[in-house]
Chains A and B, each alone.
Chain A
């Protein structure tokens, strides 16, 4: 599947296109469909998101999993500071990246 990601313009937070808006959680990401360029242009114009891009991902038992390790690290947070990641309570969260 193809999903859209970007960074929150104000905070720089990694965000994912949910079909209706943006979420910090990759599991909320949805198939972007055929109109990715139009979505990106429209959302960029709202001054909410920046550095938008379309990436490959798959749906697994654990939820949406970006295909490339870089995007999985973006989705989780730094693997060396899980306390700062989106899963601070899960000591095995780094395994999801690898």
Chain B
């Protein structure tokens, strides 16, 4: 993992001291709320429905055990004993006191963490593949490039006041586990016929009120020019992005309005100019960063044998354990979606346990996933059974990865000031309705995603089944979407029709799964069947009138 140098540490420490002074001035009345609000948002501190909320950045979702343990300790010391892992690989605390915020940031800084640029119209935390450096299908480890992007984008003065927030994802596998095409910039590391590595830039994707799949803007950019190309993409956006209307201010609107070809032309022009300025970090810096991401000291003699005689363990291995590139090792997915639970929530004790397990079994590494789960990336197969038993004792062994119980949900109206409807109770009801693991496995891969408002933090556009909560004359109402997907076959969901109340949406989801089970062909996922048979059969079943009694 990357470790701060003195420059990184001094920047973060200076920011803590600066914010401490700002909080003191606010509490003393020397700053008004209007003056203070942009300052606290620069440090990830929101004011939500019940309290201040602090969003902590987890760079490309990567943590060591010391950092994870600190996240658990903060939950206990300053919050109410839990944290919420988000769809941007971050963690949020829901019950923060303003007067405690500087101390929390100081605690975070002590483990090389912060909350900088987790809010505001700037480049947010860069996200990545949670299996980076471990996946059997990986072409290039994206983490050094993600780290380079982190360093470039942190406190970048030119991009501190963009038309709107800006999200970057980078992956190094053919399999996209980061919803890369639904970001402002998605970078895929690819290989050409000559075996050279390049960056494929997808620009102008996003969810929110106007969901769009990013087109390819740069097909094969040298990794040694990646930062310059990103700079060019941002410069064109910064120059022409709509500042007059926040709903049209994201880069996807610019790319859509002027067209991908014209946007590309302008980026190439700017890119050529930037190359003359020598802004690109020296190759030696990328090499230095790569040094932090060396392969851990794997046991070359580790066995691939697994005793699967415990049926519950066998189910968990089948569902939650992923192939590792190193023989004898595996990638463990810890689902934060127990039956009826709150997606993404973990108690302080659970957080600390996961930290301990990472230290003991995963070369001190953890990852946060955009699906609100946790990954232990490098676990020896021989350790899996003991690890699973410890997870099971702590309520962390739900064997439902990528099944209908593995629901993504934003905090919704239970916590969020922007939300129009609650997301979590809907997730809980669906989770309970499909509690039977055998039934979930019969349905197979089925990604269900719930947002409590059009901002789409719950990624409803990309759900095989998506649910969007809306406010209909002061009453919560839920729209159903079908056919969304992230990954290589990214698609956007389509609304089925009129919305439902809280119980009605759960019934509608069940009816949709019934159609799938009745109509699926061999090997088809829910989304594959939807793509083959279209909306009509689903709509017919979902909106069928119940026969009248008698």
Contacts and interface: CB of A to CB of B under 8 A. Distances in A.
- Whether chains A and B associate is yes
A50 B425 contact: no
B96 interface: yes
Contact of B413 (A67, A73, A81): A73
B51 A70 contact: no
A80 B51 contact: no
Interface in A45-84: 45, 47, 50-51, 67-70, 73-74, 77-81, 84
Given A13-B51, A69-B474, 8 more contacts: A11-B97, A12-B48, A13-B50, A50-B47, A70-B419, A73-B414, A74-B50, A78-B49
Given A9-B27, A47-B27, A47-B29, A14 B49 contact: yes
A12 to B, nearest CB: 4
A36 to B, nearest CB: 17
A77 to B, nearest CB: 6
A68 B51 contact: no
A78 B415 CA distance: 6
B513 to A, nearest CB: 24
Which of B52, B428, B475 is most buried by chain A, counting CB atoms within 10 A of its CB?
A: B52
Interface residues of A, number: 24
Interface string B454-476: 00000000000000000000111
30 contacts: A9-B26, A9-B27, A10-B97, A11-B99, A12-B47, A12-B48, A12-B50, A12-B51, A12-B95, A13-B50, A14-B50, A45-B29, A47-B29, A68-B474, A69-B413, A70-B49, A70-B419, A73-B49, A73-B413, A73-B414, A77-B50, A78-B94, A78-B414, A79-B414, A79-B422, A79-B425, A80-B414, A80-B424, A81-B342, A84-B95
Interface string B1-40: 0000000000000000000000000111100010000000
Contact of A10 (B33, B98, B428): B98
A50 B96 contact: no
Interface residues of chain B: helix, strand, loop or mixed (majority): mixed
Interface of A: 7, 9-14, 44-45, 47, 50-51, 67-70, 73-74, 77-81, 84
A78 B50 contact: yes
Contacts of B77: none
Contacts of B424: 78, 80
Contacts of A84: 80, 95
Interface of B: 26-29, 33, 47-52, 80, 94-99, 342, 413-415, 419, 422, 424-425, 428, 474-476
B143 to A, nearest CB: 35
A11 B51 contact: yes
Given A44-B33, A51-B33, A74-B50, A11 B98 contact: yes
B49 A74 contact: yes
A50 B50 CA distance: 13
**Nearest 7 A-B pairs (CB), nearest first?**
A12-B51, A78-B414, A12-B52, A47-B29, A80-B424, A11-B97, A50-B33
A11 B413 CA distance: 20
Contacts of B97: 10-12
B27 to A, nearest CB: 7
Contacts of A47: 27-29
Contact of A70 (B95, B98, B413, B428): B413
Given A68-B474, A69-B474, A78-B50, A12 B96 contact: yes
Nearest to A78: B414
Contacts of B33: 44, 50-51
